[in-house]
Amino acid sequence: MPENARATHLDAVRERNLASVLGAVAHHQPVTRARLAELTGLTKTTVTGQVAVLERLRLVVGADPVRVGGRGRPGAPVSLAPGPVAGLGLEVNGQYLAACVLDMTGAVRARATVAGDNRGRRPDATVAALADLAGRIAAEAAASGLDIVGTAVALPGVLVEDRVNAPNLGWDAVPAADLLTAALPVQPFGVTVDNEANFGALGELWYGAGQGAGSYLYLSGETGVGAGIVVGGKLFRGAHGAAGELGHVVVDPDGRPCRCGGAGCLEQVAGLDALLRTAGIPDASGTAAAGLAELERRLAEGDPAALQAAAAAGAGLAIALTGAVNLLDPDTVVLGGIHARLAPWLVPTVEAAVARSGSRLRGRTPAVRAASLGTESAVRGAAGTAIARIFADPGALA
């Protein structure tokens, strides 16, 4: 092997070892170097060297000594450092902007939401407002001794070759990652952009109702309806990154025309605008958040039009999700966004349909439940993704 190829190979091995030791610390903390050597299959000398690097990068710290089996000389274990290294999650929603800072242990250290209508707002104006929010929350994090090293941004759109199409925001081929990279301070891990349903699925998988699920389906209900698909613990993105556009699955071939070019799409019965329209709640009466609150109030009172809207949404969701369940065989379906808020009126219908369809084929029925992080699923998943990038390549902090 030529000298420089050999050096590159050794660097790659060292980087892999560093990530593997950091991952083992995360899963087994507090953990001694001797135990880390057993867990990773590396020599004790290598582990000691890598732990020293991780300590220098401020990713792990010494924990209180533990006695293995309660006797003998206590080992000197290490744990993940609850700072200063931190990741930032941001979200652009039709009705709000959100931000969330996580430290390496996955703890939420700062969060903020700014209400406001982002639909039809100029993309550069939305990006500027998001950068402003990011700056404020980074300053708040810095005051608690945290240093943000990477950012991930959840958008209600589809990424096509680094450009974002988000019809519900009025975005057409917007270079969101480039705009945000230019607007935010330089960070070792830079800016990652992805669909909000994908981040929502990861948020619920890591911190919410999807925990422990190997393959599961996360439904994100907003103005649009999207799905995040997790297969074997990883996101399934499809050939072009557009997998999970469940909102444009046809649930009524004779239904309303949809802005995607089709007709009778799920979004036309189960999206927020459709629900408010059927319930007779004018969007103009206030913000969409107020519209949703009004819908919940009318549902609780048993208002017939509101109940009809929820029934139509439930029936549409039942058709689309039955198809998805038969295609993907997930162990759990998690309803997020507005559908988490409307879960009492939607879950029974969806659960019954999913249980009925294919019941003679499948051994067991997937559980249907509401997201447990509420409207925070996507921003938490985004922040978690920023942290996951550090775990995958901690050497990049050097």
Q: By CB under 5 A, is residue 262 in contact with Zn ion?
A: yes
Stretch binding Zn ion (CB under 5 A), from 6-14, 37-45, 258-266, 302-310 = 258-266
Identify the three-state secondary structure at position 151: strand
* Nearest distance in Å: CB 292, Zn ion: 21
Q: Residue 49 or residue 262: which is nearer to Zn ion going by CB?
A: 262
* Nearest distance in Å: CB 257, Zn ion: 9
* Nearest distance in Å: CB 244, Zn ion: 14
Largest Cα–Cα separation, the chain: 77
Q: Residue 204 or residue 267: which is nearer to Zn ion going by CB?
A: 267
- When binding is defined by CB under 5 A, the residue of 19, 39, 260, 343 that contacts Zn ion is 260
Q: By CB under 5 A, is residue 389 in contact with Zn ion?
A: no
Strand order in the sheet with 225-231: 234-236, 225-231, 216-221, 332-337, 367-370
Q: Residue 171 or residue 207: which is nearer to Zn ion going by CB?
A: 171
Q: By CB under 5 A, is residue 373 in contact with Zn ion?
A: no
Q: By CB under 5 A, is residue 258 in contact with Zn ion?
A: yes
Residues 222-251, one symbol each (x = binds Zn ion by CB under 5 A, - = not), give --------------------------x---
Q: Residue 133 or residue 258: which is nearer to Zn ion going by CB?
A: 258
* Nearest distance in Å: CB 311, Zn ion: 21
Q: With contacts defined by CB under 5 A, how many residues of the chain interact with Zn ion?
A: 5
Alpha carbon distance 294, 279 (integer Å) = 10
Alpha carbon distance 119, 336 (integer Å) = 20
* Nearest distance in Å: CB 274, Zn ion: 11
Q: Which residues contact 119 (CB under 8 A, 6 or more apart)?
A: 94, 168, 169, 170, 223
Q: Residue 69 or residue 261: which is nearer to Zn ion going by CB?
A: 261
Q: By CB under 5 A, is residue 158 in contact with Zn ion?
A: no
* Nearest distance in Å: CB 262, Zn ion: 5
Q: By CB under 5 A, is residue 263 in contact with Zn ion?
A: no
Name the packing angle between helices 33-40 and 3-28 (round to 10°). 120
Alpha carbon distance 119, 337 (integer Å) = 17
Encoded tokens for 308: 């009809």
Tokens 């891990």 correspond to 189
φ, ψ at 241 (rounded to 5°): 80, 10
* Nearest distance in Å: CB 320, Zn ion: 11
Q: Residue 160 or residue 305: which is nearer to Zn ion going by CB?
A: 160
Q: Residue 248 or residue 380: which is nearer to Zn ion going by CB?
A: 248
Q: Which residues contact 195 (CB under 8 A, 6 or more apart)?
A: 154, 155, 156, 157, 158, 159, 226, 228, 241, 244
Q: Residue 171 or residue 216: which is nearer to Zn ion going by CB?
A: 171
Question: What's the alpha-carbon Rg for the chain, to the nearest Å?
Answer: 23
DSSP state of 94: S
Q: Which residues pair with 101 in a beta bridge?
A: 88, 110
Q: By CB under 5 A, is residue 265 in contact with Zn ion?
A: yes
Give the footprint of Zn ion on this chain (CB under 5 A).
Answer: 248, 258, 260, 262, 265
